[in-house]
Amino acid sequence: MKVLVLAPKSRYDAFGSDLPAAKLAELVFCDREGTEAEWLAAAGDADALFVTPVTPVSAELISSMPNLKLIHSEGVGFDRIDLEAARARGIYVCNCAGCNAAAVSELSVTLMGMLLHRVLWGNRMVRAGSQAEAVRLVERDVPADLSVSTVGLLGFGAIGQAVAERLRPFGATVYYYAPHRRDTETETRLNARYFPLEELAAVSDIVSLHLPANDQSRGLVNREFLARMKPTAFLVNTARGAIIDDEALCNALREERLAGVALDCYEPEPAGAEHPLVRLAEELPDRLILCPHYGGVAQSAFRAAHRMLFEDLEHVLSGRRPKRVVNGL
């Protein structure tokens, strides 16, 4: 079986699976920034396609690969794949749900702490030779820490639950909103309480996003949602940029209706210098933390993802349905 891989070969050399499918498959590596024509020239006859979560897989590409049986995201996201085109051809689309929960949740909690403790501002003050002044200013306006903060999680899947688990030692109050409420045992174990979306926005000191990008979540954090948040509250997004209405977020920050934001994802990606949030960071350098969408780039995540990739490939090789199908086949 031939697999077209739109990801670095070095990653597979370092974290590749020892499952039989990994040894049996012929892997053809191409630059994910290349063109569809280049990909098709290299392996248009491939039986499977492995892609990063931000790599577009169009209906045209799918229709040009006659042997395709499986499209697999290397991560959790699959919103760049044309699911309907794959479904119409009977091609499985899979993701690696939960593979990066530990890494992304760790970054999420780190960003919460950075916002609360004004790390960008403190770093700038010390670099300017103003450490003593910074301490005096903080003593006059003492910041909250996680132990006295209420954190609202939008989304309570593998990553959202991993965030709740990591917040427990800090003593934060944790609420969550998800389309489907979890069972009492899960809520008790993670010390998290379900709140409706509007109430969660109003009570949270930090809102942290952990939803996939789909028709229900796109633009969910809009002008109305942000208006419900406290002006002292922070927003963290390690999920997908499409969940946020960027214009509404920029306005809320400029008008000081939100204290600060930490982002690890953007819409569109990659975010260039003219992206409105990148431009706003120049204007408000102490209130925006911008990361390059690398929360899931971690050794633990890649090891887990590669195991899932080749486990699903093994199922396809043997004529079975993969475990992690996301397009309803």
Question: Would you call 306 a catalytic residue per the annotation?
Answer: no
Under the phi-then-psi rule, with left for phi > 0, alpha for psi from -120 to 50, and beta for the rest, what region is 164? alpha
Q: Token pair for residue 127?
A: 């670099």
Rounded CA separation 244/75 (Å): 21
Q: Which of 41, 84, 78 is nearest to 62 (CA)?
A: 84
Q: What is the DSSP letter of 76?
A: S
Catalytic member of 72, 118, 240, 275: 240
Q: Which contacts of 166-169 are long-range, i.e. CB under 8 A and separated by 24 or more positions?
A: 166/105, 166/106, 166/109, 167/109
Catalytic member of 124, 218, 269, 303: 269
Question: Would you call 269 a catalytic residue per the annotation?
Answer: yes
Q: How many helices (H) and strands (E) does the chain have?
A: 15, 12
Question: Would you call 293 a catalytic residue per the annotation?
Answer: yes
Q: Whose structure tokens read 């926005």?
A: 201
Catalytic member of 118, 293, 306, 307: 293
- Residues labelled as active-site residues: 240, 269, 293
